[in-house]
Structure 1
Amino acid sequence: MQLTDIFPVISLGTPFFIILSIVSIVIGLSLIVFGLVKQKNQKKSTLATCCIVLGFLIIITHTIQIIARTI
């Protein structure tokens, strides 16, 4: 008996990961918008700065993943 007989290997396709990356990019855009609105209302907000930076990082990493999967 092999290990794959006990635990089936589920293989998710490339389209699933591209859709997941697009959803993550939308979440990143939402974080940026939230951070900008929060920063406009309150000057020097640490939460707003963290949201903006995190949003940009999410967008950059998932854009790279989409490019890598389509090539």
Structure 2
Amino acid sequence: MQLESIFSLTSSDTPFYLFLSIVSIAIGLCLIIFGLVKQKNHKKSTLATCCIVLGFLVIITHAIQIVAGTI
């Protein structure tokens, strides 16, 4: 099975989605940094852990979207 058939972009406005993915990766990095700073100040913070996990998930999903869109 080809990757193009699994991850197909149906829209013709691909540069917009690429820009949106890059912005989402930047937001994911901000979430991770916020979580790390919050965790440094407040030990065992649930909010900090949630921000770090959510930031990693956002980065991973949008990185896969960028790679799949360029193949």
Listed as ranges, the gaps of 5+ residues in structure 1 are 1-10
Residue 35 of structure 1 and its aligned partner are, at CA, apart by 0.1
Partner SS state of residue 20, structure 2: helix
Distance 2:60 2:38 in 1: 22
Residue 63 of structure 1 and its aligned partner are, at CA, apart by 0.1
Distance 1:50 1:36 in 2: 11
Q: How many residues align?
A: 61
Residue 12 of structure 1 and its aligned partner are, at CA, apart by 4.9
1:56 is aligned to: 56
1:67 is aligned to: 67
- Structure with more relative contact order (C-alpha pairs < 8 Å, separation 6 or more): 2
Partner SS state of residue 36, structure 2: helix
Listed as ranges, the gaps of 5+ residues in structure 2 are 1-10
Alignment deviations for residues 28-71 of structure 1 (CA, whole Å, 9 cap, x no partner): 00000000000000000000000000000000000000001111
- Please report the TM-score for the alignment, with normalisation by the length of structure 2: 0.83
Distance 2:17 2:45 in 1: 34
- Please report the TM-score for the alignment, with normalisation by the length of structure 1: 0.83
Where do 1:1-71 residues align within 5 Å?
12-71=12-71
Give % identity.
79
Q: Which runs of structure 1 show a deviation greater than 4 angstroms over 4 or more consecutive aligned residues?
A: none
